[in-house]
């Protein structure tokens, strides 16, 4: 049962559309996924159905199937993401070469969507304040083969202080009361109260202030929630505009969503195939773009140079960063990270080990090919054995990039008879 105060308020909000809204909550929810353009061509899959109108890489899929168990999911070929959740990045419209911040990024759906649109060019900072959720975010950034992202675990206010007016675009998918997820998550119903709505609105106002400080003059900020509460949506934006006169709501073309005045939209489950969401598009009209110190790169160690030469690996534009014995490849325009809690300063290349180099899983997922590869069909017993962590027969010698139908999925190291398994233990089936 949905909370009575919630239902009364929704009835006031929707009027004659209220019965259609209630009926939509009784229908099975639509499920969707988003293909990852960083992995190459989109495969033909039997369970993929009609496209999501507002996201070129988004598609609904047959709810009777389980695409999360397909090897393509492990290879980062697609990300399971609710269709309405794809709307915020569609409105943000990030471009290759820009600096973009996803301020409340876990578990990573919108971050990986942004990265796909940036096409590996530019700098993406994705942040999550909760440590456990930040680790999930970092794993999803790795799985999707993203090389130009910095993953942080910081308070938004600290990032705003360090990187003031440094970003072309900022996304704030704010923590909220979750009313739009009532059909999807039972916990959202049991945890709901008017006090929670008001608490979330106060927290959202603080996060918005931090996001505003991060944005360059002329930049775009998108604020989104998965709730219907006006206190967390229109009222939060109205209060923000009163205290931040340098911002205006920006008119954008979004015919799939219900407009709520200029630059604000609601996504109602009785009007589209998706859950409930809200989004506002804001433009910063004035300010002074800050000069941010850049992270210094380091010399690439000889262990990496030898490894990459043997496998004919070419990296995108960037700079080396050494964390202990782990070598990372950071975006070329990544700012100074000293004093910030960092989980992933770019693409993890691997670890230096007594005169040799051991490649990281993330490097395999970023690459499309190498001098030595082993291609396995999705349904093959060899691939299933590899995903279980077992050795597989192969005549290859040395480090070998394992691929499933051309999509990279991990590393093996051959002795001419078998490939020793280097698929991460935490991912094995």
- Per DSSP, the residues of 147-176 read -SEEEE---HHHHHHHTTT-EEEEEEE---
Determine the 3-state secondary structure of 415 from DSSP. Answer: strand
Which residue among 104, 200, 226, 391 is the active-site one? 226
Q: Which of 422, 428, 375, 383 is nearest to 399 (CA)?
A: 422
With a CB cutoff of 8 Å and minimum separation 6, the contacts of 291 are none
Report the distance separating Cα 234 and Cα 227, nearest Å: 11
Cα separation, 83 vs 49, in Å, equals 13
DSSP structure string for 208-249: HHHHHHHEEEEEEEEEEES---GGGTHHHHHHHHHH-TTEEE
The answer to whether 252 and 91 are in contact (CB under 8 A) is yes
The strand pair at 342-345 and 264-267 is best described as: unpaired
* Catalytic residue check, 200: no
Angle at which helix 234-243 crosses helix 194-214, to 10 degrees, equals 40
Longest dimension (CA), the chain: 72
β-bridge pairing 356-359 and 342-345: unpaired
Catalytic residues: 226
């Amino acid at each position: 049962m949905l909370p009575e105060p919630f239902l009364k308020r929704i009835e006031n909000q929707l009027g004659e559309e209220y019965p259609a809204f209630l009926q939509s909550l009784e229908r099975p929810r639509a499920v969707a996924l988003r293909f990852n353009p960083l992995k190459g061509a989109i495969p033909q899959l039997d369970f993929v159905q009609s496209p999501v109108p507002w996201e070129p890489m988004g598609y609904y899929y047959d709810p009777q199937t389980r695409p999360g168990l397909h090897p393509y999911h492990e290879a980062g070929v697609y990300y399971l993401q609710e269709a309405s959740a794809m709307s915020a990045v569609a409105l943000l419209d990030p471009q290759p070469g820009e600096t973009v911040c996803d301020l409340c990024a876990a578990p990573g759906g919108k971050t990986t969507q942004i990265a796909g649109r940036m096409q590996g060019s530019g700098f993406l900072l994705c942040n999550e304040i909760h440590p456990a959720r930040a680790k999930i975010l970092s794993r999803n950034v790795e799985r999707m083969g993203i090389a130009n992202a910095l993953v942080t675990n910081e308070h938004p206010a600290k990032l705003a202080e360090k990187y003031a007016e440094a970003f072309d675009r900022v996304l704030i998918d704010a923590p909220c009361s979750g009313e739009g997820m009532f059909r999807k998550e039972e916990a959202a119903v049991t945890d709901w109260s008017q006090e929670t709505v008001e608490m979330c609105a106060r927290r959202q106002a603080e996060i918005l202030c931090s996001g505003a400080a991060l944005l360059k003059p002329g930049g775009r900020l998108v604020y989104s929630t998965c709730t219907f509460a006006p206190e967390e949506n229109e009222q939060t934006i109205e209060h923000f505009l009163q205290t931040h006169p340098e911002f205006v709501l920006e008119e954008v073309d979004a015919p799939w969503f219900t407009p709520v005045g200029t630059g604000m939209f609601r996504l109602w489950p009785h009007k589209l195939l998706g859950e409930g969401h809200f989004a506002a598009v804001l433009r910063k009209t004035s300010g002074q773009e800050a000069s941010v110190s850049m992270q210094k790169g380091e010399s690439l160690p000889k262990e990496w140079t030898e490894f990459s030469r043997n496998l004919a690996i070419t990296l995108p534009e960037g700079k080396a960063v050494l964390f202990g014995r782990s070598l990372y490849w950071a975006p070329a325009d990544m700012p100074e990270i000293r004093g910030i809690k960092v989980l992933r300063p770019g693409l993890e290349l691997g670890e230096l080990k007594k005169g040799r180099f051991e490649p990281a899983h993330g490097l395999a997922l970023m690459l499309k090919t190498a001098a030595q590869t082993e291609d396995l069909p999705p349904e093959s017993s060899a691939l299933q054995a590899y995903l279980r962590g077992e050795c597989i027969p192969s005549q290859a010698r040395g480090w070998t990039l394992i691929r499933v139908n051309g999509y990279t999925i991990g590393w093996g190291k051959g002795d001419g008879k078998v490939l020793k398994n280097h698929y991460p233990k935490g991912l094995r089936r």
